Amino acid sequence: MTKTVLLIEDEPNIIVAISFILQRAGWRVQTHSDGANAMEAVARERPDVIVLDVMLPGRSGFDILADIRAQDTEHDVPVLMLTAKGQTKDRARAEALGVTQFMTKPFANQAVLEAVEALVGQKA
């Protein structure tokens, strides 16, 4: 069964790069670029992993992560947070909200693939 990644990111180049590397590895990739209604995409897709940007139009990734953790008690989907804001306070905030893994931009595409695969392996 093909696993699904929901990529919540607003930067077109990052969407293309991550989608390409994950699809090539056999993942089904759904993308969403607006923070304001990202939770609708989470509910609709029921992904195996979420890759979540911090800075999104409409709503921050931190707020979305808080909602995911508040609503997702039986599924506990792994969340890989990507951000250009790699300061210690941002990482601490993400960890306090329940992020599974935190990765700063710029990143290697292969590192994202490896992280996503590891997160699904942890969940299994």
What predicted TM-score, i.e. pTM, was given to this entire model?
0.94
Which of 8-22, 66-80, 96-110 has the lowest average pLDDT?
Answer: 66-80
Q: What is the mean pLDDT of residues 88-92?
A: 91
CA–CA dist 85, 60 (Å, integer): 12
Distances (CA, A) of 87 to 39, 47, 76, 93, 112: 26, 28, 26, 10, 19
Average pLDDT of the chain to the nearest whole number: 92
Which of 31-40, 68-77, 86-95, 97-106 has the lowest average pLDDT?
Answer: 68-77
Q: Residue 53's domain spans which residues? A: 4-123
The sheet that has 28-32: what strands, in order across it? 28-32, 4-8, 49-53, 79-83, 101-104
pLDDT at residue 74 tops 90: no
Domain count, the chain: 1
CATH code: domain of residue 90: 3.40.50.2300
